[in-house]
Amino acid sequence: MKRLLLTSLALWMTAAPLHAEMLKESNSIPSDFKVQNVEGKSLSFADLKGEQGAVLLFVRSLDWCPYCKKQVKDWNGRAEQLQQMGYPVTAISYDPPLTLQEFGESEGITFPLVSDKDSKLIKAFGILNTDFSETDPLYGIPEPTIYVVDAEGKITHVYQEDGYKRRPDPDVVIQDLSGELGSETPTE
């Protein structure tokens, strides 16, 4: 009986999915960073970064998540400031490019909305929401997280709130980056 239990435990452990640990400050982003823009073109981090780096907003869905929609609309009013600071904003979702294009056009979003359709990047960043099985339509969504990444691909800031309803304020990110750049917070 003991041997059967140990064999069963060993089989379960090898069958259990392994999830990457969440990337933290000072970690480098995955070298195979690839997403698709709304036209379906493959983009790398180099395509998205500015002089200083990039701000990456990982959102659950711009199709059905009202909190994500509000977050992206809130960031839309601040994206130009971050662009001027050398940190372009990009929102990343598991949504297909067409969904992102429709949302962006209907809401007048001025920064890139990109698709991580198979959630490979979400998994590589270690922020896959594990509440859903692979057969669930919600499988692949991230825990809402904001990463600030420098121009060399090193994570300098991570912002995440408890639960999915609360999101970090864009002004906090702007203030943190302004202080590091030795400048006053840009005005609108």
pLDDT single digits (tens) 14-68? 333 445 789 999 899 999 999 999 999 999 999 999 999 999 999 999 999 999 9
What's the confidence (pLDDT) of residue 62?
98
Per-residue pLDDT of 132-177, as tens digits, reads: 999 999 999 999 999 999 999 999 999 998 888 888 889 999 999 9
Res. 183 pLDDT band, cuts 50 70 90: low
53-58 β-sheet, strand order = 42-43, 35-36, 113-115, 89-93, 53-58, 145-150, 155-159
Q: Is 184 a domain residue? A: no
What's the confidence (pLDDT) of residue 165?
85
Please tell me the distance from the alpha carbon of residue 114 to that of residue 59, in angstroms, as a whole number. Answer: 10
Mean confidence (pLDDT) of the chain = 88
What's the confidence (pLDDT) of residue 157?
96
Q: Is 186 a domain residue? A: no
Structure tokens at 21: 């640990």
Residues 6+ apart with CB under 8 A from 112: 37, 43, 48, 88, 89, 90, 91
Q: Is 83 a domain residue? A: yes
State yes or no: pLDDT of 13 exceeds 90: no
What's the confidence (pLDDT) of residue 10?
43
CATH of the domain at 88: 3.40.30.10
Q: Is 120 a domain residue? A: yes
What's the confidence (pLDDT) of residue 168?
86
Q: Is 65 a domain residue? A: yes
What's the confidence (pLDDT) of residue 166?
87
Q: Is 175 a domain residue? A: no
Q: Is 10 a domain residue? A: no
Total domain count, the chain: 1
Q: What is the pTM of this model?
A: 0.85
Q: Is 23 a domain residue? A: no
What's the confidence (pLDDT) of residue 188?
47
Q: What is the rounded average pLDDT of the residues 95-109?
A: 98
Domain range for residue 150? 32-167
Among 153, 154, 129, residue whose Cα is nearest residue 140: 129
- Half-sphere exposure at residue 168, Cβ-oriented, CA atoms within 13 angstroms: 23
State yes or no: pLDDT of 129 exceeds 80: yes
State yes or no: pLDDT of 6 exceeds 90: no
What's the confidence (pLDDT) of residue 20?
73
State yes or no: pLDDT of 97 exceeds 90: yes
Res. 180 pLDDT band, cuts 50 70 90: confident
